[in-house]
A and B are shown apart, each in its own frame.
Chain A
């Protein structure tokens, strides 16, 4: 089969690999019909995530058709069209039994601090991902869901992570009616977080980014006010002015470990790798939220420490909430919202690349060329 392969920082290509095999009785093999590159894949691509091995196939956002099932699989059959949450999870450990699917303890031998994720280094379990023609899906009775007949494939693939994470991020903000919500980052997660904030009763939603095409999308897709931090001397001061010097009631950090906006943090964090990425957005969130407010963090960070302004968070009495998204838990309610048109995941998609052009897709997305917000990967396109 053909699969995306990591060759080292800033280097990916397509190679022939063996089709994955059933390795556990509850495995399924899924033929991938559509995949996506996530912003967090760029952390791997840039060499920021420890234990990213040469030969690894990335990709934790994918949908496909069940090609083969293990002997204990009961809920799926060959030929089913399925969407697969980015989490690998068992459904039965202490954490899964309490709904914390993203914190499953039975699927990632390499670390206890993070659950299993497809195609996201050995730090999350060493599973090859879905930017390929076939992928091994463990716990087939637990993770995948059959794609509803009415659902568009591009909605389905974005729901496997980005959209679910945006919706989850708004929930972590514990939004109350009339709250002013600031969303940092107008990528796919931030855009859905902004849409979701309205569903939870926000009175005002402000999205911060510096790429005009993303801010435009925030205005048209999420009905949000926008701030371009490139045009501001100090984004935190602007947020204070915008909120009558209170600060936002809720800030959703939807950027993660490669935030722009501070040259020193960018260079030390993402170029020289002297810290675990650049936590600029997280620090803006802490400084931009009001005292006693809530910061929701759904931007992805790795295990290496960052220079975060924890003292400000303490002294402001903030509630900091965060997690990897337990995707499947979000789906039943999200499906209603998508069907009703209240959430529009596929609106974030801007580019579609054949798998054979994976290197080009990564470069365009990484460098944010051509207005790229969300690139999809078509495994069988020429």
Chain B
């Protein structure tokens, strides 16, 4: 390797200068219109907007915050909050404990919330079996035939781990069914003496 072949990283300046402004402007629509950082909306990071639309210093409090779960890193339930899907049942108890006992800085907080999510899902799956609309392990899979499931995946490296999807998706259902079958068999044996 001659000295002129030594890559830029090992010498003072980049060997290949970037294209000129004129060349870039000719090729790229709008090249450089935000070249000046002052034209960029998030520069500097902290700004003091003249008018956000807020006509309050502290917002009026939304009714119904009593008993609502909140992070213990908050001083109180925020003045506005979502009211979708309030806590209920065993999953609600798990989630409430996660919020009441652990801060966001503790892994236990998040892992308990994930456990609550899985319990929540199974509470609803079980309810769905006695409803007129039972849950299925995966929704939308019919698009595999209508939207080129095989064609779309040809040559893609992510197919390797997508092969695990049926196991990941249906595994808990198979395990759940196994538990039910075993339980019923034990029950029948016990009844028969």
Residues A126 and B81 in contact, CB atoms below 8 Å apart: yes
Residues A107 and B78 in contact, CB atoms below 8 Å apart: yes
| B132 at the A interface (CB under 8 A) | no
DSSP majority for the B interface?
Answer: loop
Which chain B residues in 25-51 approach chain A with CB under 8 Å? 27-35, 37, 39-43, 45-49
| A288 at the B interface (CB under 8 A) | no
> Which residues on A sit within 8 Å (CB–CB) of B160?
263
Residues B83 and A126 in contact, CB atoms below 8 Å apart: yes
Most buried by A among B16, B33, B68, B135: B33
B1 to chain A, nearest CB (A): 12
Residues A55 and B84 in contact, CB atoms below 8 Å apart: yes
Residues A329 and B85 in contact, CB atoms below 8 Å apart: no
| Cβ-defined partner of B161 (8 Å) among A112, A199, A244, A263 | A263
> Which residues on B sit within 8 Å (CB–CB) of A54?
85, 120-121, 123-124
| A342 at the B interface (CB under 8 A) | yes
DSSP majority for the A interface?
Answer: loop
B143 to chain A, nearest CB (A): 5
Interface size on A, residues (CB 8 A): 115
Residues A90 and B140 in contact, CB atoms below 8 Å apart: no
| A100 at the B interface (CB under 8 A) | yes
| Cβ-defined partner of A53 (8 Å) among B47, B54, B85, B138 | B85
B: interface residue count bin? 35 or more
A372 to chain B, nearest CB (A): 8
The interface bits of chain B over 164-187 (1 if a CB of A lies within 8 angstroms of the residue's CB, else 0) are 110011000000000000000000
Residue of A whose beta carbon sits closest to that of B81: A109
Residues A267 and B28 in contact, CB atoms below 8 Å apart: no
> Which residues on B sit within 8 Å (CB–CB) of A81?
none
Residues A139 and B59 in contact, CB atoms below 8 Å apart: yes
Instruction: Give Cα A97–Cα B58 distance, bound, in whole angstroms.
Output: 12
The interface bits of chain B over 82-93 (1 if a CB of A lies within 8 angstroms of the residue's CB, else 0) are 111100000000
| B189 at the A interface (CB under 8 A) | no
| B157 at the A interface (CB under 8 A) | yes
Which chain A residues in 331-382 approach chain B with CB under 8 Å? 332-334, 337, 340-343, 359-364, 367-372
Residues A56 and B85 in contact, CB atoms below 8 Å apart: yes
Residue of B whose beta carbon sits closest to that of A13: B139
Instruction: Give Cα A335–Cα B122 distance, bound, in whole angstroms.
Output: 45
| B100 at the A interface (CB under 8 A) | no
> Which residues on B sit within 8 Å (CB–CB) of A53?
84-85, 117, 120
Which chain A residues in 5-61 approach chain B with CB under 8 Å? 7-13, 23-26, 47, 50-57
17 A-B residue pairs with Cβ-Cβ distance under 8 Å, sorted by A, are: A7-B121, A51-B95, A72-B55, A99-B46, A109-B74, A116-B82, A122-B82, A168-B42, A171-B41, A244-B9, A267-B164, A333-B41, A337-B33, A360-B143, A363-B139, A367-B149, A370-B152
